[in-house]
Chains A and B, each alone.
Chain A
Amino acid sequence: MNYNWNWGVFFQSTGIGSEIYLDWFVTGLGWTIAISLVGWLIALVLGSLLGVMRTVPNRLLATIATTYVEIFRNVPLLVQLFLWYFLVPDLLPEPLEMWFKQDLSPAASAYLSVVVCLGLFTAARVCEQVRTGIQALPKGQLNAGYALGFTLPQVYTTVLLPQAFRIIIPPLTSEFLNIFKNSSVASLIGLMELLAQTKQTAEFSANLFEAFTLATLIYFVLNMSLMMIMRWIEKRVAVPGLISVGGK
């Protein structure tokens, strides 16, 4: 078990076509970003909807949203992914099932499953943040909206949500970063995202320390740059007059 260090391994040929190992990492990073961004879009839309449902004066809607959150928060992500990838296609109507299993390429069907899985998984977390944001606003805001003759949907879209979203940017940021990290589970259903490419590089080149170090570095830089972007957005859209903002 002698280990040969070779940091130049990333520029060596993989032996497949004219690719070098670095190309694999680039492809992997591309998949990771593609999974995370689309998953985040689903999570944000569905999560906001659920968050609103938990706060509106309607028992039924609130119960539906609460049940959703409890289910998706208490089942491990990996179990959810297996359910989406192995079980759900079998439950689909015949033509859809055929489309998923035969017409889609293996990468496409895995991508579809993992995006839906991560989107719905993260939506439960986004929901809780949105609910907290709305509940953190003074009750007077809602009443003031009513007093001005707004309907309930108008109060939400023009008064409550614009403020709530700006308050919850920090916790949303951490969910946003989590979805990038969680996207690595896609490697377990055969999608060649960053972690899967790293494993493949480690196995092909036998330079596992170099491969995993580079992967760690990529995740680290990705994380830091996303955090800086979100901090910048947070500053730009801060609600004036709140303690957290500072200044006047």
Chain B
Amino acid sequence: MDFSAIIPALPGLWIGMITTLELLVLGVCGGVALGTALALMRLSHNKTLAKIAATYVSYFRSIPLLLVITWFYFAVPFVLRWITGVDTPVGAFSSCLVAFVMFEAAYFCEIVRAGIQAIPRGQMGAAYALGMTYGQTMRLVILPQAFRKMTPLLLQQSIILFQDTSLVYTVGLMDLLNAARSRGDILGQPHEFLIFAGLVYFVISFTASRAVKHLQKRLAV
């Protein structure tokens, strides 16, 4: 084993890392936004909306992420063409991002739902009594408290997503893992680069989950 070839390759690996981080950040933001909307649908009094959201969640939770990524990679260009009527080239990055957002939303939805349900019912009543609308109640009273409570869980799910971004390998997107694999293959040192990539993932996930545990203890009532 000779790890000296990794140092000159670091700038290239960093570009891969940026792709990974972009996927992570955009995936989490989109996933939480869509997940929150789904959670509100699931908790709404409108039976149809609740049913749609519940079906969405159980659908995405019962299929593998890798299937979603592969499917979207093939399907998104077709679907876009049907909608817009023109051929729009869609890169692997966009299709992967759509896959992550839609898939993770199902998981974030369940976290947000549990967070909202943990807020005492009286808060809703109090907000309504003050003359707030549903939108105001959610935006100003319920969600800020719920998000505070579920921050550790949201972060934990984000760490899982960080690891899952490596699955974009299947569509050839140059994330950290793929950058390391391709460089390792070119330089004839696949093992060293693979171990290095694994180490980077490990250090980041480990440190992050330690920090989340710490936060969890601090936020605990």
**Residues of chain A at the chain B interface (Cβ within 8 Å):** 1, 3, 70-71, 73-80, 82-83, 86-87, 90, 177, 181-185, 187-188, 195, 198-199, 202, 208-209, 212, 215-216, 219-220, 223-224
* 16 A/B residue pairs, CB under 8 Å, sorted by A: A70-B206, A74-B205, A76-B163, A79-B198, A82-B181, A86-B191, A181-B64, A184-B64, A195-B70, A209-B78, A212-B71, A216-B59, A219-B62, A219-B63, A219-B64, A220-B63
Instruction: Let me know if A216 and B206 touch, CB within 8 A.
Output: no
In the bound complex, residues from chain A placing their C-beta under 8 Å from that of B75 are 208-209, 212
Kindly state the separation between the CA atoms of A78 and B65 in the bound complex, as whole angstroms: 12
In the bound complex, residues from chain B placing their C-beta under 8 Å from that of A83 are 194-195, 198
Among candidates A75, A82, A185, A187, residue contacting B202 with C-beta atoms closer than 8 Å: A75
Instruction: Let me know if A212 and B74 touch, CB within 8 A.
Output: yes
Kindly state the separation between the CA atoms of A76 and B206 in the bound complex, as whole angstroms: 12
Taking A78-B167, A87-B195 as given, write out 16 further A-B residue pairs in contact, using a Cβ cutoff of 8 Å, ordered by the A residue number.
Answer: A1-B77, A75-B198, A76-B163, A76-B166, A79-B197, A181-B63, A181-B65, A187-B170, A188-B170, A195-B64, A195-B70, A198-B70, A208-B75, A212-B75, A216-B63, A220-B59
Among candidates A73, A182, A202, A224, residue contacting B62 with C-beta atoms closer than 8 Å: A224
Among candidates B77, B87, B191, B194, residue contacting A79 with C-beta atoms closer than 8 Å: B194
Among candidates B66, B81, B201, B209, residue contacting A76 with C-beta atoms closer than 8 Å: B201
Given A75-B202, A75-B205, are A86 and B70 neighbors across the interface (CB < 8 Å)? no
Instruction: Let me know if A90 and B74 touch, CB within 8 A.
Output: no
In the bound complex, residues from chain A placing their C-beta under 8 Å from that of B64 are 181-184, 195, 219
Instruction: Let me know if B67 and A215 touch, CB within 8 A.
Output: yes
Among candidates B78, B167, B190, residue contacting A1 with C-beta atoms closer than 8 Å: B78
In the bound complex, residues from chain B placing their C-beta under 8 Å from that of A216 are 59, 63, 67, 71
Instruction: Let me know if A223 and B66 touch, CB within 8 A.
Output: no
Kindly state the separation between the CA atoms of A182 and B201 in the bound complex, as whole angstroms: 18
Contact with A along B69-90 (1 / 0, CB 8 A): 0110011011001000001000
Instruction: Let me know if A71 and B65 touch, CB within 8 A.
Output: no
3 nearest A-B residue pairs (beta carbon): A223-B62, A74-B205, A181-B64
**Residues of chain B at the chain A interface (Cβ within 8 Å):** 59, 62-67, 70-71, 74-75, 77-78, 81, 87, 163-164, 166-167, 169-170, 177, 181, 190-191, 194-195, 197-198, 201-202, 205-206, 209
Kindly state the separation between the CA atoms of A188 and B74 in the bound complex, as whole angstroms: 17
Chain A nearest CB from B74 CB (Å) reads: 5
Among candidates A79, A219, A220, residue contacting B166 with C-beta atoms closer than 8 Å: A79
Chain A nearest CB from B103 CB (Å) reads: 11
In the bound complex, residues from chain B placing their C-beta under 8 Å from that of A74 are 163, 201-202, 205-206, 209
Given A70-B206, A76-B177, A86-B194, are A187 and B66 neighbors across the interface (CB < 8 Å)? yes
Among candidates A71, A78, A80, A212, residue contacting B67 with C-beta atoms closer than 8 Å: A212
Kindly state the separation between the CA atoms of A184 and B205 in the bound complex, as whole angstroms: 23
Nearest CB in chain A to that of B206: its residue: A74
Kindly state the separation between the CA atoms of A87 and B181 in the bound complex, as whole angstroms: 12
Instruction: Let me know if B67 and A195 touch, CB within 8 A.
Output: yes
Instruction: Let me know if B66 and A185 touch, CB within 8 A.
Output: yes
In the bound complex, residues from chain A placing their C-beta under 8 Å from that of B191 are 86-87, 90
Nearest CB in chain A to that of B159: its residue: A74
Kindly state the separation between the CA atoms of A121 and B176 in the bound complex, as whole angstroms: 21
Chain B nearest CB from A180 CB (Å) reads: 8
Kindly state the separation between the CA atoms of A208 and B67 in the bound complex, as whole angstroms: 12
In the bound complex, residues from chain B placing their C-beta under 8 Å from that of A73 are 205, 209
In the bound complex, residues from chain B placing their C-beta under 8 Å from that of A87 are 191, 194-195
Chain A nearest CB from B195 CB (Å) reads: 7
Chain A nearest CB from B160 CB (Å) reads: 10
In the bound complex, residues from chain B placing their C-beta under 8 Å from that of A76 are 163-164, 166, 177, 198, 201
Kindly state the separation between the CA atoms of A127 and B167 in the bound complex, as whole angstroms: 25
Instruction: Let me know if A75 and B201 touch, CB within 8 A.
Output: yes
Nearest CB in chain A to that of B190: its residue: A86
Nearest CB in chain A to that of B210: its residue: A70
Kindly state the separation between the CA atoms of A188 and B65 in the bound complex, as whole angstroms: 13
